[in-house]
Structure 1
Amino acid sequence: MLHPILAQKRIFIVYVLGWFILFFIHAGILVEYTALTEGQAISDSAIYNLILMILSLSLYFPLAYSPNSRNTAQNKIIRPNLYYFVNHAIICLITLILWLGASYLLSQLFLGDSHEYVTFTRDSLPLRAAIGTLLLSLQLSLYHIIDFFKHIEEKTIKEEQLKKMVKEAELKALKAQLNPHFLFNSLNSINSLTITDPQSAGQMVTKLSDFLRYSLRNNTESMLPLREELNNMRRYLDIEKVRFGDRLNCNFDISEECLDVYIPAMLLQPVFENAIKHGLHESIEPVHIHTSCYIQNNYLIITVSNNFDPESTPVKGEGVGLDNIRNKLFLFYNRNDLFSTKQESNFFEVNFSIPKRISHA
């Protein structure tokens, strides 16, 4: 267990400076209010304060390793406050006796040839004991204050680590929700192409493998440039276009300054999945998906809109796509106002307002 004062250089320097101030105050009082010479006053102050400083530092170890200091449920039951007080009182008393005894012997060794000093030392013993008790009590309080804030700091760190672990677990869960129907349909399309157009089948296999590789990328790359996210969405749309042909039309209006802005990986896929599911399934009309992006007030504004047939039979689904987007944005930015949707007659629009970030932080 590291000593809270010795382990930190800055605190140790402040601690030593505090004792230097106490040393000068002590010496000044002896010179001003006693018959001791300056040399005797300085020597007495140096001996008593130096030994008390060392003992005060060592006072931490019996407190830290005493049985009642272990914060367990059992000790809380069998160690009442009275025992806790007595324990500290005994440690303080033993330290006080050691301090007075060692200081007296050392001062007599250097200053014992002066009768006036010997008399002063004997007469001042009760006052020294009272001051020593006060200083040791303050030292005990200091250790408990440091221990309290250290406990708060450790608890905060653990809570942050726990939040991070929960966040990573939730992100993994969100990433794991790759639509299996898309994969099955893609494989069926590839199977058909192997007969009618083998070259296109090979290209589709390559695009599908690239898309899946991106989708399953490690969570350490959970933030990626918009450029990579759009490239992957183009792969996804190219794969879907094999199935739907001219019924699926997509265009992108992306400002160049947007491409290097980082966004959560796989953020856009549920939007395009939703557009295709509700725009093309159970409808013979073509769907047009328009994607635009620009920077406004240090926010990345992304808009994805598509038309759909309001009279078509609604497609049944789990309804988790847009909810996943909201959850993911909240996990990354701790905000609920970065995502919105709008529907008017046969038109559906999704809007993102993502804080601009040009590096992975």
Structure 2
Amino acid sequence: MHPILSDRRRFLVYITAWMMTGVLIARLLVSADLANWSFAMVFSLPLALFGGFLTSSAYFVCRSLPFNRRSFSLAALIFASASMISGISWLGLCYGWNKVLVLALDEVEVLHMSSHLSVLFFITGFAVYLLALLAFDVYIAFDNIREADRREAASRLLARDAELQVLRSQIDPHFLFNSLNSISALTAIDAVAARTMTIALADFFRQTLAIAEKEKISLNDELRLCENFLAVEKIRFGKKLGMEFEVTTEAETALIPPMILQPLLENAIKHGIRNLPKGGIIKVTIFQRDCWLHIAVENPVSSAPGNSTGNGLGLNNLRQRFFALYGEQARVSWQRTDEKFVLEMTLPFEHNNHE
């Protein structure tokens, strides 16, 4: 739709501008002693309205020449031809309207249409239409840029969602396979514990399904998921597995992507606690500072790790998830020493208003 006609306010501004142009034409005719104010206003205002209507057609001329399918010579030819037609139309209307006023007002002539004045009217019609063509061309160019930006943003959003789904599909089976292996190991040792662990695992996956499709959940929901997971692992490792959570009150209301802590606890158990004869304590520290949420997970490791050191797939998946959600704003880093493994995450703090 025409950009002027599609917006009432824009249309009123456009008509007002052309009416003011008509007043300006009348003022010039009076200043040149070509007509008095009454005749000048009656002559120029209808011409100005016609000029606004005629000039608005320049939008459709520009739309008929897409930027990717035009050449400079073709555009120049069409713009010049359209402006020429506009100038001739404007001049013809001036002559015709002048004759109508002569008959209607019983005057000899409202204006003396000299050759000099005729050339001036023609040039005015030509120049105004050419300027309108250039203005609409610029408008269409910027509109195309905005539309391209909107399409690009939509494509980025779809790509991000697709990437998150792929990452989740890589992570979710990882939870299930490790848990089933734990239950399988317990069935030969303690059937009652295996049954208890199966029930706890069902509760864990029930909560997982409830939050997995959400883009953001509260930190409290994530911590409850971790508690259910640790309840399962506690049955297997007993006193070998110790946990310390230090979470500030401000951080509890933060919004975070789902299932970012639970995989880290699983890695800490698999690559750290499991390889230590006496086990150890996994420490989780979460606090909010300024506009950032800081999360740190620390666990002891064996000084001589074997094949269970991992390939970093889970940590790289976490880094990719953060990049898909936050771009360059989030940071994930980790380091290993002979005695411990420390992972640190920093992401923008988003407050959960429902907490």
**TM-score, normalised via structure 2 length:** 0.88
Aligned match of 1:15: 14
The alpha-carbon deviation at position 20 of structure 1 amounts to: 2.7
Please state whether the residue corresponding to 1:120 is helix, strand or coil.
coil
RMSD: 2.5
The alpha-carbon deviation at position 16 of structure 1 amounts to: 2.5
The alpha-carbon deviation at position 336 of structure 1 amounts to: 5.8
Aligned match of 2:206: 210
Aligned match of 1:49: 48
Q: Distance in 2 between matches of 1:185 and 1:62?
A: 66
Aligned match of 2:92: 101
Q: Distance in 1 between matches of 2:66 and 2:289?
A: 56
TM alignment of 1:79-228, pairs within 5 A:
80-112=71-103, 113-120=106-113, 124-178=117-171, 180=173, 182-190=175-183, 192=186, 195-197=191-193, 200-201=196-197, 203-214=199-210, 217-218=212-213, 221-228=214-221
Aligned match of 2:284: 291
Please state whether the residue corresponding to 1:4 is helix, strand or coil.
coil
The alpha-carbon deviation at position 338 of structure 1 amounts to: 2.7
Distance verdict in 2 for CA 1:159–1:225, change over 3 Å: same
Aligned match of 2:31: 32
Aligned match of 1:244: 237
Aligned match of 1:309: 302
Equivalent of 1:260 in 253, 257, 262: 253
Please state whether the residue corresponding to 2:51 is helix, strand or coil.
helix
**TM-score, normalised via structure 1 length:** 0.86
Contact 2:294-2:344 at 8 Å conserved across structures? yes
Equivalent of 2:265 in 272, 275, 288: 272
Contact 2:59-2:137 at 8 Å conserved across structures? no
- Work out the number of aligned pairs and report it: 348
Contact 2:171-2:314 at 8 Å conserved across structures? no
Contact 1:285-1:309 at 8 Å conserved across structures? no
Distance verdict in 2 for CA 1:166–1:316, change over 3 Å: same
Distance verdict in 2 for CA 1:342–1:187, change over 3 Å: closer
Unaligned runs of 5+ in 2: none
Please state whether the residue corresponding to 2:310 is helix, strand or coil.
coil
Please state whether the residue corresponding to 1:350 is helix, strand or coil.
strand
What amino acid does structure 2 have at the position aligned with 1:99? W
Q: Distance in 2 between matches of 1:106 and 1:39?
A: 15
Unaligned runs of 5+ in 1: none
What amino acid does structure 1 have at the position aligned with 2:171? L
Q: Distance in 2 between matches of 1:120 and 1:334?
A: 68
TM alignment of 1:61-80, pairs within 5 A:
61-64=60-63, 66=64, 69-70=65-66, 75-76=69-70, 80=71
Q: Distance in 1 between matches of 2:303 and 2:194?
A: 37
Please state whether the residue corresponding to 2:129 is helix, strand or coil.
helix
Decide which moves more: 99-108 or 43-52: 99-108
What amino acid does structure 1 have at the position aligned with 2:255? Y
The alpha-carbon deviation at position 351 of structure 1 amounts to: 1.9
The alpha-carbon deviation at position 198 of structure 1 amounts to: 7.1
Aligned match of 1:350: 343
The alpha-carbon deviation at position 254 of structure 1 amounts to: 1.7
Q: Distance in 1 between matches of 2:110 and 2:225?
A: 89
Aligned match of 1:58: 57
The alpha-carbon deviation at position 106 of structure 1 amounts to: 2.7
The alpha-carbon deviation at position 9 of structure 1 amounts to: 3.4
